[in-house]
Amino acid sequence: MLDVRRLILLRDLAVHGTVTAVAELHRVTPSAVSQQLRLLEDETKARLLERTGRSIHLTAAGRQLADDTEHVLTALEQAQDRLHTGTGEPTGPLHIACFPSALAPMAAPLGEALEGAYRDLRPHITEAEPETAVRLLLQRRADLALLYRYTNLATPPHPGVETRTLRTDPLVAVLRNDHPAAGPGNDPVDLRELADTPWITAPPQTACGDAVLQACRSAGFAPRVRHTCTDFSAMIALAASGGHTALIPRLAAAHLPPTLTARPVTDSTLTRTIETAVRHGTAHEPAIAAALAALRGLVHSTA
């Protein structure tokens, strides 16, 4: 009988490409991963890995076993789920990973809806940015994740999980009411109208920071960044106190102080897509299916 934990390491090597990445994923040393993979080769009596210098690549047999492992893990999850319920009623713990700006408007009402509808279902919500949330899914420390991706960035798909678009969340310009671009009406603002104002942005090398910078460059200017932070609530506070411009997702701009206004922008690519993510084959498990249905209901009711 093959060791499932070693199979998971092989599958993760196929997904992430390096022993170091697999070690970081499982919070162990690279030498521990290499040792377990060698033991797996001994168990299978097959050559699963090809070692070239310090690099390791999967052989054809290794890739086939990694693919088969996903089916094995799905079957084990389904068997475990059937042990906890013979009726299909959602029960037990449900671990949900959610990015920060969706915690209050989406994850909190989701948890409340699930607890109200299913007496034996216990949601556990963990704050996590998309990369971390996917890692939690693959480690089986989360069952469902809420992710985002910015439309104007070429974000690669997340390996090892199934994603489905839940809603779009366009970015809006948060401006002081006395800003010339915050005039009467709700007409979209051309980003070029904001070129001469000081800006608040997320740091470079973050998804939001890169998306805003890309949009400004497409509009023909580089923003004069006065403040950088990742917390949208802090951006709103800084905009209110200093009159600086911020572009943030509309979901995060639902509650502004009276001195600020949120205006749509003319750049239709400046939006983020909110997605659900689950491991392959788990979307129909009772607890996960109930959460996905509840999320769709929440989005429909707030559209």
Q: 264 has which bridge partners?
A: 172
Please report, for the domain that includes residue 12, its CATH number: 1.10.10.10
Q: What is the pLDDT of residues 1-25, one digit of tens each?
A: 788 889 888 888 888 788 888 888 8
Q: What is the pTM of this model?
A: 0.76
What percentage of residues in the chain have a pLDDT greater than 70? 95
Same domain, 123 and 28: no
As a whole number of angstroms, the distance between CA 176 and CA 6 comes to: 56
Identify whether residues 182 and 253 lie together within a single domain.
yes
Same domain, 143 and 220: no
Beta strands in the chain (DSSP E): 49-52, 55-58, 92-98, 121-127, 144-150, 161-176, 198-201, 224-228, 245-249, 260-264, 271-279
Q: Assess whether 195 and 177 both reside in one domain.
A: yes
pLDDT bracket for residue 154 (50, 70, 90): confident
Dihedral Cα 272, 278, 283, 289, nearest 10 deg: -70
Helices 30-44 & 19-26 angle (0-180, nearest 10): 110
pLDDT in tens, 209-254: 999 999 999 999 999 999 999 999 999 999 999 889 999 999 999 9
Do 204 and 238 belong together in one domain? yes
Give residue-wise pLDDT tens across range 280-290: 888 988 999 99
Indicate if 260 and 224 belong to the same structural domain.
Answer: yes
Same domain for 160 and 288: yes
282 and 160 in a single domain? The answer is yes
For 202, the domain range is 168-272
Please indicate, yes or no, whether residues 177 and 248 belong to a single structural domain of this protein. yes
Q: Report pLDDT for 303.
A: 61
Domain end among 83, 117, 142: 83
H/E element holding 4? helix 4-16
> What CATH number should be reported for the domain holding residue 115?
3.40.190.10
Mean of all residue pLDDT scores within the chain: 89
Statement to judge: residues 74 and 104 lie in one domain:
no
Bridge-based pairing state of the strands 245-249 and 161-176:
antiparallel
CA distance 34 to 45: 16
Confidence bin at 77 (pLDDT 50/70/90): low
Looking at residue 158, its pLDDT comes to 83
Check residue 199 and give its pLDDT: 96
Count of domains for the chain: 3
Q: What mean pLDDT comes out for the span 170-179?
A: 94
Q: At which of 83, 104, 136 does a domain end?
A: 83
Residue 162 sits in the same domain as residue 173? no
pLDDT band of 78, cuts 50, 70, 90:
low
Q: Do residues 159 and 186 both lie within one domain? A: no
